[in-house]
Amino acid sequence: MNKTIRTRTWILLFAVLLMASLAMTAWIMRRKAPGTTACIYSDGVLIRTVDLNSVTESFEFSVISERGENRIRVEPGRICVVDADCRDQICVKKGWLSESATPIVCLPHRLVIRLEAGSADVDAVSR
Amino acid sequence: MKRKNAAIRYLPVILLLIFLLTGCTASGPAQSLPAERTTFAMDTLMELKAYCGDDVLDRCVERIAELEKIFSVTDPESEIYSLNDTGTSVLGNDASILLKEALSLCERTGGALDISIYPVVRAWGFTTGEYRIPAKEELAELRKRVDYSKVEMNGSSVSIPDGMMIDLGSVAKGYCSDCLAEMLKEAGVKSALLNLGGNIYALGTKPDGTKWNIGIQDPNGSGYLGVLKASDLAVITSGGYERYFEENGKVYWHIMDPATGEPASSGLISVSVIGSRGVVCDGLSTALFVMGLDRAAQMWRDSEDFEAVFVTDTGSIYITEGLKDDFHTAGAYASEEIQVITHE
């Protein structure tokens, strides 16, 4: 009788641990969901990160380096360069970044905005 | 009886141990994080990722800087600048290998690729970002300076006619990826992904042994139109969307047709070339874009060193037969029918 109870306790403990592990796994997976955090690099140095999913109100800020200025706008779930004093305006034309196929790059100012972790199903994009 | 009890008693512990010890192999030491480097070179952003020591990638970054210094058209200290400036030059090892390779690609594509197109590209403003539409007479005059067959190469000594300018930009990144891949393989690296401004080289496989998944940029949007499984392959795309300007509602892109001196209008808006040699893929992606679908398909039938993905201005996707098992469409294109180009 005693032994049966002990076995049941073990089984129960195991079940609880299993459930806890599954819950933990789900939590970790959710935390690492791709395309949620935007990383802003200036000349290869990470200068700021923005968690796009936690943004409720839009805001703007500027990245200024000796090469020039990029005005960046953040809205819930997405980010873009709205204005820049660079020669080609490619970063502005690129528009919103919300899924992480390719980063926004401003070559003249060496500015890169990329979404963390990248898209889940591709490793790189040929363009 | 006692033995059986013991087994039952320890069964949960054993199961728990199995569970705990096998559940997290994906982040175990066998698959540690890759070394990564980002560098700006050759007028683009280059991202290197490799499963190896940091020193190997540092050498790759040095090699990129070295190659840029040789091939730059605008750096007065580069070998190519000096050739364009003086009309004659004795090239170093890299420059003569690449120039020879480039000239053979020009010939192979019947001039659809022409490394002497630079004065025309410059006239359209694509080298500075100050875009303009050159007058017909101006283009006619400039086109007289465009003809790769007038480049004379004797070993490493090269001479070009007066007024001609050589730009190896259409093959330099492909060549660069080949050089890096070779360095990495020599260092024993089994898994690396080189992204030279969208020119991809997938070395080996992912650490888990599966092929790399390479997206092909959607020419009409920000996502990708399909995914290609690749191992030890370069995947290089040329598209009109990369660099362009609009005037009076018309789009002018940076890929020039050497025959007209104007942006290529062959009915293709994107060409991806896949093969084991980056330099070949790089040059061919531009050339096939200029040639158009029919001539490009014929070129593929006559060749054995590449496969390709084409997107037409009507939105149709064509792939060559060899990609049938490794390419699938994605996202907005998932239900799109893929046309397969065969040897028939």
Decide if B92 is inside a domain: yes
If 0-12 CB within 10 Å is exposed, 13-18 middle and 19+ buried, where does residue A66 land?
Answer: exposed
How far does chain B reach from its first CA to its final CA, in angstroms? 75
Asked if the ipTM is above 0.90, the reply is no
pLDDT at B147: 97
**Interface contact flag, B16 A14, Cβ < 8 Å:** yes
pLDDT at A117: 58
Among B11, B19, B217, the residue with its CB nearest the CB of A127 is B217
Nearest residue in chain B measured CA to CA from A17: B16
Lowest mean pLDDT among A118-122, B61-65, B111-115, B169-173: A118-122
Closest chain A C-alpha to B272 CA, distance in angstroms: 8
- For B4, residues 6+ apart whose C-beta sits below 8 A from its C-beta are none
Average pLDDT for B144-166: 96
Residues of chain B with Cβ-Cβ distance to A107 below 8 Å are 40, 43-45
**Interface contact flag, B12 A97, Cβ < 8 Å:** no
Residues of chain A with Cβ-Cβ distance to B235 below 8 Å are 126
Among B23, B44, B228, the residue with its CB nearest the CB of A107 is B44
Q: Which two tokens stand for residue B227?
A: 């995914």
Q: Which is it for strands B212-217 and B199-204: parallel, antiparallel or unpaired?
A: unpaired
Whether B295 has a pLDDT exceeding 80, the answer reads yes
DSSP single-letter state for residue A44:
T
**Interface contact flag, B19 A21, Cβ < 8 Å:** yes
Decide if B42 is inside a domain: no
DSSP single-letter state for residue A88:
S
CA-based max dimension of chain B:
102
Question: What is the distance between the alpha carbons of residues B82 and B67, in angstroms, rounded to a whole number?
Answer: 15
What pLDDT band is residue A101 in, cutting at 50, 70 and 90? low
Q: Which residue has tokens 């025309």?
A: B120
CATH number at residue B207: 3.10.520.10
Lowest mean pLDDT among B174-188, B192-206, B320-334: B320-334
DSSP H or E stretch at residue A27: helix A2-31
Strand partners, B199: B196
**Interface contact flag, A94 B217, Cβ < 8 Å:** no
Q: Is A56 helix (H, G, I), strand (E, B) or coil?
A: coil
Decide if B215 is inside a domain: yes
Whether B40 has a pLDDT exceeding 90, the answer reads yes
If 0-12 CB within 10 Å is exposed, 13-18 middle and 19+ buried, where does residue A34 land?
Answer: middle
Decide if B41 is inside a domain: no
Average pLDDT for B44-66: 94
Whether B26 has a pLDDT exceeding 50, the answer reads no
**Interface contact flag, B223 A99, Cβ < 8 Å:** yes
Residues of chain B with Cβ-Cβ distance to A110 below 8 Å are 40
How far does chain A reach from its first CA to its final CA, in angstroms? 70
Among A14, A44, A121, the residue with its CB nearest the CB of B38 is A44
Backbone angle region of B57, left / alpha / beta, with phi > 0 → left and psi within -120 to 50 → alpha: alpha
- For B228, residues 6+ apart whose C-beta sits below 8 A from its C-beta are A126, B213, B214, B215, B216, B235, B272, B274, B309, B323, B326, B327
**Interface contact flag, A126 B216, Cβ < 8 Å:** yes
Chain B within 8 Å of A123 (Cβ-Cβ)?
A: yes
Backbone angle region of A33, left / alpha / beta, with phi > 0 → left and psi within -120 to 50 → alpha: beta
Chain A, residues 7-26, CB within 8 A of chain B, namely: 7, 10-11, 13-14, 17-18, 21
Which pLDDT tens digit goes with each residue over B249-275? Answer: 999 999 999 999 999 999 999 999 999
What pLDDT band is residue A30 in, cutting at 50, 70 and 90? low
If 0-12 CB within 10 Å is exposed, 13-18 middle and 19+ buried, where does residue A51 land?
Answer: exposed
Lowest mean pLDDT among A19-28, A91-100, A112-121: A112-121
Decide if B13 is inside a domain: no
Decide if B103 is inside a domain: yes
Chain A, residues 96-115, CB within 8 A of chain B, namely: 96-97, 99, 101-103, 105, 107, 110, 112
% of chain B surpassing 90 pLDDT: 82
DSSP H or E stretch at residue A68: strand A68-75
pLDDT at B344: 78
Question: What is the distance between the alpha carbons of residues A28 and B134, in angstroms, rounded to a whole number?
Answer: 57
Question: What is the distance between the alpha carbons of residues B304 and B275, in angstroms, rounded to a whole number?
Answer: 9
Question: What is the distance between the alpha carbons of residues B38 and B252, in angstroms, rounded to a whole number?
Answer: 30
pLDDT at B183: 97
pLDDT higher at B85 or B32? B85
Closest chain A C-alpha to B200 CA, distance in angstroms: 6
Lowest mean pLDDT among A9-13, A52-56, B41-45, B180-184: A52-56
- Provide the number of CB pairs (under 8 Å) joining chain A to chain B: 103
Decide if B163 is inside a domain: yes
Question: What is the distance between the alpha carbons of residues B48 and B54, in angstroms, rounded to a whole number?
Answer: 11
CA angle B223, B126, B256 (to 5 degrees): 80
**Interface contact flag, B40 A44, Cβ < 8 Å:** yes
Its pTM stands at: 0.80
Chain A, residues 47-86, CB within 8 A of chain B, namely: none
The mean pLDDT of chain B is: 91
DSSP H or E stretch at residue A22: helix A2-31
pLDDT at B81: 96
Which domain covers residue B97, as residue numbers? 51-341
pLDDT at B25: 43
pLDDT at A54: 84
Closest chain B C-alpha to A52 CA, distance in angstroms: 18
Lowest mean pLDDT among A5-9, B130-134, B139-143, B287-291: A5-9
Q: Which is it for strands B88-90 and A111-115: parallel, antiparallel or unpaired?
A: unpaired
**Interface contact flag, A125 B214, Cβ < 8 Å:** yes
Whether A80 has a pLDDT exceeding 60, the answer reads yes
If 0-12 CB within 10 Å is exposed, 13-18 middle and 19+ buried, where does residue A58 land?
Answer: exposed
Residues of chain B with Cβ-Cβ distance to A91 below 8 Å are none
Which candidate in A42, A109, A126 is best for mutational testing of the B interface (most B CBs within 10 A)?
A126
Decide if B277 is inside a domain: yes
If 0-12 CB within 10 Å is exposed, 13-18 middle and 19+ buried, where does residue A75 land?
Answer: middle
**Interface contact flag, B222 A94, Cβ < 8 Å:** yes
Domain count, chain B: 1
